[in-house]
Amino acid sequence: MTLEMIIEEAKSLSVEDRKSLIRAIVDSLTEEKLPKTHSIMELEGLGAELWAGIDVEQYINEMRDEWDHR
């Protein structure tokens, strides 16, 4: 069956059936293309080694001072 034949068949459907067909087609496209979803919590601890040995309060104060001088 060609695309043109399918379109002609779809024209004979009721409006509600055509809407259902459209939803089914869109759902089939999004299922294939959507990547696996992730939780923001998966990032917990990421880059912790970069902050090892750094005094957070001192770092924040240095950043604030830098912004004050711009």
Domain residue ranges in the chain = 3-33
Four-CA torsion 55, 57, 58, 60, nearest 10 degrees: 120
Cα torsion angle, 20, 25, 28, 29, sign: negative
List pLDDT tens digits, range 11-70: 999 999 999 999 999 888 876 666 778 899 999 999 889 889 999 999 999 999 998 877
- What pLDDT score was predicted for residue 34? 62
Total-model pTM? 0.42
- What pLDDT score was predicted for residue 54? 92
Side-chain half-sphere exposure of 16, counting CA atoms within 13 A: 0
Q: What is the DSSP letter of 53?
A: T
